[in-house]
A and B are shown apart, each in its own frame.
Chain A
Amino acid sequence: MKKKSKVAINRRDFFKVAAAGTVTAGALVYQGCKPRSSASAEGGGAVGEVPADGMTYRTNPHTGDVVSLLGYGCMRWPLRKKADGSGEEVDQEIVNTLVDYAIEHGVNYFDTAPVYIRGWSETATGIALKRHPRDKFFIATKMSNSSDFSRQTAINMYNNSFKALQVDYIDYYLLHSVGGGDGVATFLQRYIENGVLDFLIAERKAGRIRNLGWSFHGDVKVFDYVLAMDIQWDFCQIQLNYQDWQNATGRNVDAEYLYGELVKRNVPAVIMEPLLGGRLARVPVQAFSMMKEVHPQDTPAQWAFRYAGTPENVLTVLSGMVYMEYLQEDIRTYAPLVPLNEQEYKTLEEVTKVLIDSDYIQCTECQYCMPCPYGIDIPGTFGHYNRCVSAGKILKSANDNGYREARRAFLVGYDRSVPKLRQADHCIGCDICRSRCPQRINVPSEMRRINLYAENLKQKSVF
């Protein structure tokens, strides 16, 4: 089965339209639920100058590092077909172009992990960064020992990061996705019982790790437990955005609490999922209009980035910028950051209400669940569904206006974005993916829901 080279978060479909300046909310509905999958290193939707020296920086209170507020998330590098047709590879030329551009414009924080992009991210990021002086950037990578808890595997993974990244020290090293699995017990198995954390602390002492921290998803007990340990954490990576501030979904914890705890202990926060995998850049029309009424020129993504960057204890905000136009837009947002004011916070509260009422599946297309052993394209299926939600094309009943067009758009778009054999009807409900999902989505049940919806449309049944 072929896979579409669609690693992209397709978050700014609206942005390009809005840039034309003439679009009405009504017309947006006709955007359809089509994924945008063309990768390019050329700027497309850029409006105005991209300042090279306006970046906002934050200082790490522990090491004095001056870190750019915009951090580069290296989880979503663009892929291309290999020349010999034998599969895919990271498109290194585009990666180089993007990294060069980011550094030229003041970005200095790059976040990767050994497991990202089928294990290719570190190497690709390392190649691109090797072409720059070592003191021009901070590199963050992780201990992703989620499938095998042995000490040796962990140390191999650690050593391998140095090789793949071609560095002799790592600026920011994280325990990856703390809070997953079976709560505190899993944390102890992964890092304490096998002595891995002691090993890493020794490495920090030796200077090969400059900052030691952890990224968090999931069980709040683990968060409290790890934060209360007798260890000086140099930073902590949390999911923070305006929806998650007070309305975290699944087993995620409200960002308000997480951030508050970090402030109390003077641990700087690195922010992930500021856009929820693109969903906050591709909001429903109603929410879109609310934001446009306040700032006609700003995109939903800009709102979300300003939100994530405003709190003072935020060290950097990670953005997985696959396309040059995303990179340019994000640089503009943070060069310099204009903090949100009271009225803007109120607007986002309203927007959040719309989002919560929407039918989104809380998937950020992070790929942690993949590969599904039975071949399902989980993020692809959820992504298609969510794009249809954003476009207002999910039908509530068979009597809705625009039934025919919405039906066709959903079904044809489904076959185009996900090969038939990888669609929801092939999910066997084995639950293997559930423990891997940082958003704690009940994947099999959502798959059944999407399949039921697709079947209703296919059979033209009344619902």
Chain B
Amino acid sequence: MLRKVRTILACIFFLLITLLFLDFTGTMHLWFGWLAKIQLMPAILSAATAAVAFIVILTLLFGRVYCSVICPLGVLQDGVSCVAGKRKKNRFRHSPAKSWLRYGVLGLFVAAAILGGSAVVSLLDPYAAYGRMASNFFAPLYRGGNNLLDWLAERVSSYAFYPTEVWIKGWITFGVAAATLAAVGILAWRNGRTYCNTICPVGTVLGFFSRFSIFSLTIDAEKCTKCGLCERSCKASCIDSKNHTLDKSRCVTCFTCVEKCRFGAMKYAPVSIGKKKNIKPEPAGKENSAGSGVSRRGFMSIAGVLALTQTIKAQQLKVDGGFADILDKKAPERKTPIAPPGAVSLRNMNKRCTGCQLCVSACPSGVLRPSGKLATLMQPEMSYEKGYCRPECTECSQVCPTGAILKIVPADKSAISIGKAVWMEDTCLVNRDKIQCKSCTDNCLTGAITLVAINPEDKKSLKLPAIDKERCIGCGACENLCPARPFSAIYVEGNVVHHSI
């Protein structure tokens, strides 16, 4: 019974959190955004005291329920382990706790968090790890399915669906997600919750609290026949049936043992005071953390510097119809990355973001993508090749659970300067093709770009764009819509600290 309730709850939580990463319409987070906010790391990073307190109290009361219900990575491992268990039943064995590893990883994690090694924090945070999997593997499938439905809807003149773009936003992050999935998946397939009890810093912290939990699983020595079934079904490997002991710090309260025991010897009940607790710290085993080679993103192709931007000219012999080819845009090398409005500063982003990819998944304009730089690995940064930061959209600030992007409303947004447009004299079409292009001026949302005559004496003189930096908010409309390709002739450099205009 307890196990069924736990399983059902876990499935619901898992599904809804996954949906947060899949949804691109911006409706899901209105209802279920809180699910990301009660994840431990986001709660700590956003200094959400109530959420942290809730998790600690929950653990002190009921043990590591968090790990088996709320944590999506935990539930994912249970899923994998369950499938493996269908092939080989009762395959687990008690193993001693690997405390040195657990506390070692935790120490590293805390040190990284304090010293600013955000990549380590991102890698180890279980919620972020799951977020990367959901946004890199599940979201593209989901969107592909949506596009299929849109295609069908179009056949019957329905506007129920609309098409969306499917693309992998950062290959390094994709690789990290794949490596994490492989490592966690193999561990779960073979040994159940090994990852949670040896590496996961959240598991270690909650394990510490769960030692003192009021409700916990205990073995009734009177009823126990030492058949060992509980031990062999325990995916946390925390039951030593021979000695009638159970390591509360590693137990994730999955209730499998309760269901398995044929003699009613497993009990989930408040601990009676004075009963001895069994903790056996023993150094043993060697597990590798899920990591992957992190390479610095290569410089923009050297060719990029040489190859001037170009658009396709109309054919020499003009015939009617057809389309000019459009080259894909390439990202310029920005000296300062651009953080989304609400992030306040690059420092705030770097300190708080765990790289869960929720904002990246939510961005409807294809602007956010995970960074490939070591210092900000997997944290979101902006680039305007596929779209620009639209004035009506505040999706990323709505979904961010860690406070890396604070909540803003569209009215604030038009006054927050996240960057500055920079104009490239040589590649601007007006100079290059001698044609009066008005793209950046027409599309600037704040009127920061004006056209100024090259030769003020001549009334027919071509005009060049001039940027009023005081009015530029760095939204990237000019960069995205600039006809110079593959490199735009106007691009945005980020502001280290955002400010209002």
Contact = CB atoms under 8 A, between A and B. Distances in A.
A448 interface: yes
B443 A146 contact: no
Given A415-B163, A429-B442, A1 B323 contact: yes
Given A31-B157, A412-B162, A416-B154, A430 B323 contact: no
B307 interface: no
A429 B438 CA distance: 6
A413 B159 contact: yes
A115 B314 CA distance: 14
B435 A375 contact: no
B392 A371 contact: no
A374 B321 contact: no
Nearest to A409: B159
A429 B483 contact: no
A118 B319 contact: yes
Contacts of B392: 458-460
Interface in B438-463: 438-439, 442-443
Nearest to B326: A375
Nearest to B162: A412
Interface stretch (A44-52, A60-68, A419-427): A419-427
A34 interface: yes
A390 to B, nearest CB: 14
Given A412-B162, A460-B392, A426 B324 contact: no
B442 A448 contact: yes
Contacts of A408: 159
A430 B436 contact: yes
Interface string A61-98: 00000000000000100000000000000000000000
A3 B157 contact: no
B360 interface: no
A373 B311 contact: yes
A118 B320 contact: yes
Interface string A378-414: 0000000000000000000000000001001101110
Contacts of B321: 7, 116-118, 367, 370-371
B289 to A, nearest CB: 41
A370 B436 contact: no
B481 interface: yes
Contacts of B391: 459
Contacts of B390: 458-459
A428 B159 contact: no
DSSP majority for the B interface? loop
A370 B322 contact: yes
A425 B326 contact: no
Given A371-B315, A429-B436, A429-B438, A115 B159 contact: no
Contacts of A31: 157
A115 B436 contact: no
B317 interface: yes
Contacts of B437: 428-430
Given A118-B319, A373-B324, A375-B324, A430 B312 contact: no
A185 interface: no
A368 B320 contact: yes
Contact of A415 (B162, B311, B324, B436): B162
Contact of A428 (B157, B313, B324, B483): B483
A147 interface: yes
Contacts, number: 106
A356 interface: no
Nearest to A365: B321
A148 interface: yes
Given A117-B321, A425-B481, A375 B312 contact: yes
B324 A374 contact: yes
Given A31-B157, A409-B159, A422-B323, A147 B318 contact: yes
A373 B320 contact: no
Nearest to A452: B442
Contacts of B257: none
B472 interface: no
B317 A147 contact: yes
Interface centre among B163, B317, B319, B443 (most CB of A within 10 A): B319
Interface string A338-373: 000000000000000000000000000011101111
Interface string A259-274: 0000000000000000
A371 B317 contact: no
A428 B439 contact: yes
B321 to A, nearest CB: 4
Contacts of B162: 411-412, 415-416
Nearest to B328: A421
A32 interface: yes
B325 interface: yes
B320 A428 contact: no
Nearest to A37: B154
A32 B159 contact: yes
Contacts of A405: 159
A148 B319 CA distance: 12
Given A1-B326, A377-B323, A458-B392, A146 B483 contact: no
A436 to B, nearest CB: 8
Interface centre among B321, B438, B442 (most CB of A within 10 A): B321
Contacts of B313: 373
B322 A430 contact: no
Interface of B: 154, 157, 159, 162-163, 311-315, 317-326, 390-392, 429, 435-439, 442-443, 481, 483
Across the A-B interface, the 7 shortest Cβ-Cβ residue pairs = A367-B321, A119-B319, A429-B438, A147-B318, A375-B326, A428-B437, A428-B439
8 contacts: A7-B321, A375-B311, A416-B162, A422-B326, A425-B481, A428-B439, A430-B437, A458-B390
Interface of A: 1, 3, 7, 31-32, 34, 75, 114-119, 146-148, 366-368, 370-375, 377, 405, 408-409, 411-413, 415-416, 421-422, 425-432, 448, 458-460
